[in-house]
Structure 1
Amino acid sequence: MMNLRPALIAILVSIGLTATSVADDAQLLTLDEALSLAKAQNLQLRNADLQINVVEEQKKAVESKQFPQLSAHVRGLQNFVDNEYTFEQGSLGTVGGSPVPSSNVSIDTTNGFTTHYSLTATQPLVGLYEIGLNVDKLKTEQEIARQQSRQTEQSVTLQVKQLYYQILSDESAIEATKSSIRFNEELVKILKDNVAQKTELEYQLLNGEAQLASTRHQLFVQQNDILTAKQQLNVLLGREISTPFRVSPAKASPSVAFNPDDAADQAIARRPETMQARLQVEAAETGIEIEKSAYLPEVNLVASYGRSENTTLLPDESMYVGLIAKWDFFTWGGNASNVAGSRLALKQALNSLRDNEDQIRAEVSQNIRALEVARTLVPVTEMAKKAAEEQLRVSFNQYKAQTILLSDLLNAQAQLEEANDNYHQALLGVWNASAELEQALGEE
């Protein structure tokens, strides 16, 4: 029975220690390095940044409409009927008492293929106002895309932190489970000797072997869980999911400083969601002005040059510069409905902004309370862990003195494992609560 002491000491010393390297050749990955990799390589962030460029190209396309629009036209006609036009003598009046024309004149179309070429430049005038409004709206949408990119970055940052903390907690739990396995292996050896010597009953050995099998299965589950967490973290870092690495608690302990009275105002000032909501209001206001511009007439400055080939009816060349205006002054209430719809969209944007601010205030308040609850749970679980350690020590001595059964000793060991797990979960809860509060406050 005395051989139990080394195993007992091993499990007690290992409780609370952070896991060491999973593989000696695995590269150390600190939390700061993980965050930097995620910002540089995460595919969600890359897509968010690409969206900014997409809107930029849309804005350039609209800006190009401010300049003269050049167009070329080519028309080809095949005449199948010979049309003849006759201008009778004097049909165009008189000049100096002489009739124009002085005699009947007949002009016929040319048989065959006739072509006409033209080059036209159209410069919008009144339309520049609407184009400018559309450019302003796209600038606002581009800023919205930037804030969406910031929001995505903050979301990825939170996920990286949570997975990193989970891996730290899992590795610590694995080390504790390995110590429990060593304890149970040593216990089973002793029980086999005792059964052989008729000092223990067979069922006691079976209980010890069952406890050992259960602990080994627990280790198998934990190793699978940590492998899943590492693969998920590699995905967030934008690299091959099987890339080996080890984590370190150095600089991983969360520390968030805030003033509870100013926390909500700070979050509202920093959160990209709030900035997006404000920009949506700005975009909705611009949308109203765009719809109002539909009441204005369309006025364009036009310059055109044309040339015809193989025709005797039309002039060979034509060139003109002038103004072309079009005004849809009656649209059966269509313009008014468009403006009314834009005003309703503005009200929606204002309501969304107010709702966003209220939601953020509630979220920050909730996260502050959650962090305080998580912090107060740590000393509770720590005391329970120490009590379980002492109970196992006493139970071990009682088992040596044969005043308790093996099942009582195994129960004390299970209680220690549970207390140790609760302690690790409490620490993980503080880490996660701190990370969530940092995100809620708009920390970059």
Structure 2
Amino acid sequence: MRYPRRSIRSIQGQQLPSIITQFSPRHGSIRGIPVQSPQTPLPRQIEDGIEVVPIEKQETGTGMILTPEDEGKEVVLISEKSEKEVFVPPLPTPPRSLWSRISKTNRILGILSIQVIILIAVGLGLMAAKSKGQQVMPTTTLTPTSEKVLIQNGTFAFMTPVEPQQQNSACLALTNESVAWTCLSRRMLRIQFSLNPSDGGTVMSATMRARNRTNTTTTYGPRPPIFSPAPLTPATDPDYPENGQAYYFRTLYDRTVILKENQIGTDVMQQEMPDRNRTQVKPGERPWLCTFNATVLEGYVYLAGNATSANRTVDPAFSTEDAKMPIMPYKMKLTEMRTRESPQPYCTRMVVGEDGVMVQGEGEGRRELRLHETHSEQRPAGGRRELLGGMVGRGVRKEKRQTVTPYCCRCQYMWQPDPGNGG
């Protein structure tokens, strides 16, 4: 509602009385003015002066006070109860960094952009590395055939020396079983070099196959190795780098040795020496067949110095079976060795029939060979050579050039294509 009031201009020059506004007794006094009850009559001077308009009681405790100087003033009265109920929210914490001032949407877009840039950079790097590798690859893969064929194709014969370059049976713990690992002595072997059909006819391989023998004669001692085609890769022998460029192959085969009945498991003093004369196994005899499965066979075929042995054949005086066969024109190193990963070796008692064929005897089991507890076959370090004593027969030591391979079973042969080796 609108309250009537008089203009100040109509009372200019007159002394105006003071205006006093009264409130409910519950609000107490204002600025030292005593509170008067509603029944108390107003002073006379106020009655003759300006009309006093009562202010309506409000729960908010506010009202208007009029003074001659101003149109009016607002008086706000706050009780103790209302002062306690007033809640002033805390001011927000100002942002500390530029990143926190950015909106959440812009932050997400920025992170996604960075990830996309990283992925693009990684992809470009991989593509560049792949294209570079493709450019270098033909140079390395064509190295073996850069000079057409560096090794002759065909089957060649070579003979192992009387004494192997290395011989060691230290992987066997018992002395009366060490004869089970013996090396080849003056045996004529065959090796074939050819392109491997399984690789598309582009990779040279080496293989040793069983001979097509017309008789069934069996001799005592180790049997020649037989293995499937193994790829030939260019390499340099770390033990003999002076031999120049070579081809290297590595494969596994089952090594077997035929021993006489009293050559294993008996007293050392009663054992016979390994038979190097290749005595034939006779019908009715009961030999031992010792097997070393998964024996490692590796070889280095050196390409240098083969001109002197070209077009030479085996002399029939050395071997009638290999007569007129081309002699191996390359110098070659052949190594047999048993590793820690090889299966347990064993010997089986055999019986020779009237036809000379060996079969396992009835009721005969197999004898497992005891291995050295610390047996470890280590790959030879590049270029490292030592002079060690190799075990031959019953402990006879011969000084040989070989790498350190503690407690190993090993045979190593070196073939030299000279006229004294079957030519």
| Length-normalised TM-score, structure 2 | 0.20
When Rg is computed on C-alpha atoms for both structures, the one with the higher figure is 2
- Structure with the bigger RCO (C-alpha within 8 Å, sep 6+) is 1
Normalized per residue, the structure richer in helix is 1
| Length-normalised TM-score, structure 1 | 0.19
Normalized per residue, the structure richer in strand is 2
